[in-house]
Structure 1
């Protein structure tokens, strides 16, 4: 089991304010990366702030997506990518890359990622939110903290 799990927290729409990435090699977590990201114009929705607790003051001096992208790229390129609700995180990545003129195809990753929501729904777990899956599988989670969410997703995928 060699893959990379990713989770984005967003400020508005598909504009990320944090990313967590967990690299798994042969079933063992070998790397963890997390950083804040300054969204365009450092704008946030009150709803997203309530979800993850990240405020504009937290990202005012953070790097932009394009500045963080080299770290993201080196962890995703040529890998199997896993996310909980993969279409959301995949769209955040793709739309952020497009905004900064970066070519998604250069990552050489699948057009659809592995999705732990779909995997655990297929196993009969409903609802299959990350918190529900983690509670059922006894995985520690600080929900809506990007690294904790990515780590939990990696552990869920290892247990699939």
Structure 2
């Protein structure tokens, strides 16, 4: 079981406003790499309601690199990989629209048109609610919700559990 779990946080209601990313690489059912960084969104603009969700403030990102400067590190972790997200439509949209904003081409990443989605998987299993927090609590997975790396790690563990894998260490 090889895949990368991904989670974005956004600074505004616009999908191209990524302000944090978490990536968790799984090889043969074991977490082998974790990557997290804050990202300076366009104009370093934030909406109050987004700050209230994830707690990231403009002062934390104003001197950080923008997405295009961080992209080489991100690219090497996702190129040609199976991607998994808890709400894949949201995270896929953030990646595609942020790349487009910076003049990059999503197709060059050789990713599936649709990623694996643990939200859909757990809804099909009958979980109500099936949000990341509820699924993590149900399975005893530690979660600092809306912290991108913690969300990506929880998503990876939920995907491993769904597939019958039980190696949740790292």
TM-score by length of 1: 0.99
Q: How far apart are residue 82 of structure 1 and its match?
A: 0.1
Note the C-alpha offset of 1:37: 0.2
Cross-structure match for 1:6: 6
Within-5 A mapping of 1:132-143: 132-143=134-145
Matches of 2:144 and 2:6, distance apart in 1? 15
Q: Which residue of 2 aligns with 1:157?
A: 159
Matches of 1:126 and 1:9 in 2, distance apart? 24
Q: For residues 69-148 of structure 1, what are the structure 2 equivalents within 5 Å?
A: 69-148=71-150
- Displacement of 1:126 in angstroms is 1.1
Aligned structure 1 segments of 4 or more residues deviating by more than 4 angstroms: none
> CA–CA distance in 2 between the matches of 1:52 and 1:143?
8
Residue in 1 aligned with 2:167?
none
Aligned partners of 2:60, 2:38: CA distance in 1, in Å? 8
| Paired residues, number | 160
Please report the RMSD computed on the Cα atoms of aligned residues, expressed in angstroms.
Answer: 0.5
1:68 — aligned with what? 70
Match of 2:21 among 14, 19, 22: 19
Report whether the alignment pairs 1:59 with 2:82: no
Post-superposition offset of 1:137: 1.1
* TM-score between both structures, scaled by the size of structure 2: 0.93
Uncovered stretches (5+) of structure 1, i.e. residues with no partner: none
* Partner SS for 2:36: strand
Report the counterpart of residue 48 of structure 1 in structure 2.
50
Alpha-carbon shift at residue 61 of structure 1 (Å):
0.8
